Amino acid sequence: MAEKKAADNVRTFSPNYKVLVEGGEYPFVWVETQPMGDVMYAKRNLEVAYNNVVIFLKHQAASGRVPGMIIPMNNNIWGLTDLVKADNGYLGLFSETLQGFFVPGLALELYYLLNGP
């Protein structure tokens, strides 16, 4: 049942990104939880796991800051107005909050899952 619930949380954010969202009332991806989700979901779907890290890294600001949250622009259910459009207008980047979890350690763990030791 848990695997079905997780699979139901896989969403297509753009032609470039199929990701695992947090679920429940949170249909978007947050840097504090999604990189951890990728490592947990990697044995079920490596593409989705990879995208859960890369979606943040590919949309890093010139300053190095990654977005705290990313939404699909066609699903702005919260009516966010301070988004930066990205990925040919498919994605909205929200960088106004500093989120908790950090990407590098989890990205490295995913690398080993993808490529072996």
Instruction: For 19-46, write each residue's pLDDT tens digit.
Output: 999 887 789 998 888 877 778 888 899 9
- SS3 assignment, position 67: coil
26 is a domain residue: yes
| pLDDT for 61 beyond 90 | no
36 is a domain residue: yes
Instruction: Return the pLDDT at 100.
Output: 56
115 is a domain residue: no
| pLDDT for 93 beyond 80 | yes
Residue 66's pLDDT band (cuts 50, 70, 90): confident
Q: How many CB atoms lie within 10 A of CB 103?
A: 21
Instruction: Return the pLDDT at 20.
Output: 93
Residue 85's pLDDT band (cuts 50, 70, 90): very high
DSSP H helices in 15-116: 34-41, 46-57, 103-115
Number of domains composing the chain:
1
Expressed as residue numbers, the domain containing 104 is: 2-109
Q: How many CB atoms lie within 10 A of CB 73?
A: 17
117 is a domain residue: no
Residue 114's pLDDT band (cuts 50, 70, 90): confident
DSSP 58: T
Instruction: Return the pLDDT at 98.
Output: 65
41 is a domain residue: yes
